[in-house]
Amino acid sequence: MDFDFAELPEKDRYRLLCSFVGPRPIALVTTIDEHGCNNAAPMSFFNVFSHEPPLLILGMQTRPNGTAKDTVSNIRRSGEFVVHMVDMAIAKEMIVTGINFPSDVDEIEFAGLTSVPSVKLAAPRIEEAPCAMECRVSQILDYGRRTIVIGEVVQMYVRDECLDERGHYVRPEVYQPIARLHADNYIVADNQFVLKRPVELLHHEEAAGYGVPKPVKVPG
Ligand SMILES: Cc1cc2nc3c(=O)[nH]c(=O)nc-3n(C[C@H](O)[C@H](O)[C@H](O)COP(=O)(O)O)c2cc1C
């Protein structure tokens, strides 16, 4: 089957793109409103796009009635947000935060999660999440009813057990995020495998003279 996106109705584009571009990681995003009320919502139009500078991107659309989601309003006003990754331990709570509650509802509390202070931002961190990235807004791009937020990570928390003793490498048997597939289907990263580039082909890179990647320096 072939689909011409110039002809395809919006809902069919959504269905196709979201069904085939996946699994998509889930950002559980916390923000704070002008009255100090915490907000949390999951976003799967999300990923990391750079480490230098360290950039995360969120894609958000208006509610069916055309109003901005609280996450977008809070990010525009405060210029900051915190992204948490989601594992099985908080999957059910994450889904609850995805309900369109009125703005004065603290979804963190409603879902039974715990807010703790962030290091650099006013928006809170969710204690039960395996990791959290504090972000300041770098750019906001508006495409009609869609808003794309580019955030720069200024601080990151990782639960100790998710990393090895030196804090360098993730422990795949401990850190197993969930991701969104189509509709209400999700997947958990509990069946990981190692796939290395064939060493007998690496001389092509050397011959091309593209340079050897610099090792990433991790403190500690
Ligand atoms: C797993 C999951 C992923 C979602 N991803 C997005 C997304 O990428 N963009 C978006 O606008 N809404 C997304 N939603 C819907 C929002 O989370 C939902 O509209 C939420 O109520 C917004 O809350 P807020 O008004 O507090 O920001 C997603 C929902 C779920 C359950």
Peptide bond connecting 53 to the previous residue in cis, omega within 30 degrees of 0: yes
Give 3 Cα–ligand 1 centroid separation in angstroms: 26
Atom 9 in ligand 1: residue holding the nearest Cα: 60
pLDDT at 126: 98
Query: Whose Cα sits closest to atom 5 in ligand 1?
Result: 43
**Residue 92 lies in domain:** 10-193
Q: Read off the tokens for 2.
A: 């072939």
83 Cα: distance to centroid of ligand 1 (angstroms): 13
Give nearest CA residue, ligand 1 atom 18.
98
Classify residue 200: in a domain, yes or no.
Answer: no
- The alpha carbon of 197 and the centre of ligand 1 are apart by a number of angstroms equal to 37
**Residue 157 in domain:** yes
- 5 within some domain: no
Ligand 1: residues within 6 Å at CB? 26, 39, 41-45, 59-61, 69-71, 95, 98-100, 180
Nearest CA to ligand 1 atom 4: 43
Sign of CA dihedral 127, 130, 135, 140: negative
List, in order, residues 6 or more apart from 147 with CB less than 8 Å away.
59, 60, 61, 68, 72, 140, 141
Find the 53 Cα to ligand 1 centroid distance in Å.
Answer: 26
**pLDDT tens digits, 79-111:** 999 999 999 999 999 999 999 999 999 999 999
State the CATH number of the domain containing residue 131.
2.30.110.10
Confidence of residue 220 (pLDDT cuts 50, 70, 90): very low
Is residue 130's pLDDT more than 90?
Answer: yes
Instruction: With a cut of 90, say whether residue 219 has pLDDT above it.
Output: no
Tell me if 137 is assigned to some domain: yes
Tokens of 210: 């593209």
The answer as to whether 118 is a domain residue is yes
Ligand 1 centre from 161 Cα, in Å? 29
The rounded Å distance from CA 71 to ligand 1 centre is: 9
At 5-15, the pLDDT tens digits run 999 999 999 99
Structure tokens belonging to residue 93 = 């709570």
pLDDT at 160 over 60: yes
Residue among 21, 58, 46, 5 at smallest CA distance from 182: 21
Mutational pocket test of ligand 1: of 18, 33, 43, 142, the residue with most ligand atoms within 8 Å of the beta carbon = 43
- The residue nearest atom 23 of ligand 1, judged by CA position, is 41
Answer whether residue 56 is part of any domain: yes
- Whether 178 maps to a domain, the answer reads yes
Q: How far is the CA of 41 from the centre of ligand 1 (A)?
A: 6
215: in domain:
no
Q: Number of folded domains in the chain?
A: 1
Task: Using the predicted structure, report yes or no on whether residue 218 has a pLDDT greater than 60.
Answer: no
